Amino acid sequence: MSVKTPITVAKGDGIGPEIMNATLHILLAAGARVDIEEIEIGEKVYLRGNSAGIEKSSIESLLRTKVFLKAPITTPQGGGFKSLNVTTRKLLGLYANVRPCVAYAPYVKTKHPGMDVVIVRENEEDLYAGVEYQQTPDETTSIKIITRAGTERIVRYAFDYARRNNRKKVTCFMKDNIMKITDGLFHKVFDEIGVLYPDIEKEAWIVDIGAAKLADTPEAFDVIVMPNLYGDILSDVAAQIAGSVGLAGSANIGLKYAMFEAIHGSAPRRANQNLANPSGLLLGAVMMLVHIDQPDVAALVHNAWLRTIEDGIHTYDIFKEGISTQKVGTKEFAEAVAARVGKNPEKLKPVSYNAAPKQTVDSHTVAEVSTKQRDLVGIDVFVYHEPGDPNKVGRMLEAVNGDGLKLSVVSSRGVKVYPDPLPDTITSDSWRCRFISSTDNAVVTPQQLLSLLNRVAAAGIAWGKTEHLYNFDGKPGFSAIQGQ
Ligand code: NAD
């Protein structure tokens, strides 16, 4: 007898229990070899005073089984409740979010009948690291973190996913024409890793025009990999234009753990009426079956589901006179899918799955960063001063030149304002004052920077933060100032 894989299941809130029961019914009908540990998450847990929405004992279950099938939850209104999704993503180190966005024309209405795109979104870094500051009354900042290791992991994941699923092309979306260092690294790593996959076509798009193309001609894309923020936005756009927000599932994958869910919420107004469509969660569960090395069962479930959709047996949300043949509730839909286990679709393309772990390159292995020559060449000092006169700020800062350091340029909101300010440049109350060696291209010492800051403080200048300026192998590890 084959061994069952333990999985943790949470039925969630709203329509959650109904769609989870339907999903589990279909999985078991297809012979899924799973041992279910049920935990409670969401509204009831929050309202018991647990701000995370999940008990410690439930977390222990997740850490034990390493596989989480999660129904949507309702986050209660009012402040103080932490997002359960963010908590689990961070707790379990789920670095990859994978969302297939597929059109099922003509059975589900869509403007893009040929669409079959998988969005692979980096899930931990970027502006979502949540490192934000306000240091002056006017200006707020958020730090965008892109690491080489994090990028390598997500890019390898995207290429391995493409290979495993017989996909032909991986596209990278980023914006390295503007964010040359952060998105530049993402693009560079994509190019470097891409070389290891000669069998897969590669292309890179600047995210704005790439997004426009995706919305207009999604058939042109296959797998798309992108940093967190673009991925968050575009995975919703892609699901929506596929015509199938209610049908999309998603996988969140980490080094050790993984979580599978529907992309929609708990739809409280539809709860307890046997109305909800369980398809999104079911397709999330299909990804789970592949992940736990049951690709045979995954294909059985997915093909039975495709056949059901093709037979026109539809829940209210996708029911359409003339296309659908029968309007059914959640339970009846699950029965219809279970009854079709073993059947393939006749019009839609049947799916087949390869086992997950048989990867040629291990997605989780990242190359060691080679040590580079790293030279300290200056410092940006952020000064708090009323908006307005750049000459005043420039002259004030020039007064602290000395000990081999000189003010080279002042910028506000990223734009150069001193020397030679343009009359119409708008400034904020935060001024970035860049000090470099007074000798061309010379390396400076931390002691020189400290004595500069001492002079700044002694002059009564209000400085908030500083950023060291480094060259890596002679190339600046900091952006040039716009207008410089
Ligand atoms: P929602 O996705 O729950 O519902 C949006 C609309 O889609 C509603 O009209 C709903 O009736 C319909 N819908 C959604 N899923 C459906 C399904 N399976 N079958 C049929 N119809 C479906 O979004 P919302 O109303 O903005 O949010 C409701 C709650 O869900 C909120 O508390 C929100 O915080 C939560 N939420 C949870 C998750 C999650 O747990 N992953 C994700 C998003 C929203």
pLDDT, tens only, 8-55: 999 999 999 999 999 999 999 999 999 999 999 999 999 998 988 999
Q: Which residue has the higher pLDDT, 238 or 130?
A: 238
291 domain-assigned:
yes
The closest-lying atom of ligand 1 relative to the alpha carbon of residue 262 is 41
Ligand 1 pocket test target in 44, 264, 279, 281 with most atoms within 8 Å of CB: 264
User: How much of the chain is in helix, strand and coil states, percent to nearest 5?
Assistant: 35, 25, 40
Same domain, 117 and 224: yes
Nearest residue CA, atom 37 of ligand 1? 265
Tens digit of pLDDT for each residue in 132-190? 999 999 999 999 999 999 999 999 999 999 999 999 999 999 999 999 999 999 999 99
Q: Does the structure show a pLDDT above 60 at 363?
A: no
CA angle 349, 298, 307 (to 5 degrees): 40
Q: Is the pLDDT of residue 355 over 80?
A: no
Question: What is the pLDDT, as a whole number, of residue 358?
Answer: 45
pLDDT at 82: 84
Structural domain that includes position 219: 111-242
Domain count, the chain: 3
Task: Report the first-to-last Cα separation within the chain, whole angstroms.
Answer: 71
CATH at 67: 3.40.718.10
Kindly give the number of the ligand 1 atom that is closest to the alpha carbon of 73.
40
Quick one: pLDDT band at residue 372, thresholds 50, 70, 90? confident
For residues 219 and 282, membership in a common domain is answered with no
| 98 lies in some domain | no
Same domain, 221 and 173: yes
Q: Is 79's pLDDT higher than 80?
A: no
Measured CA to CA, the distance from residue 277 to residue 268 in angstroms comes to 13
| Six-digit token string for 282 | 């079911």
The answer as to whether 36 is a domain residue is yes
Residue 315 Cα to ligand 1 middle (Å): 15
Of 242, 261, 287, which closes a domain?
242
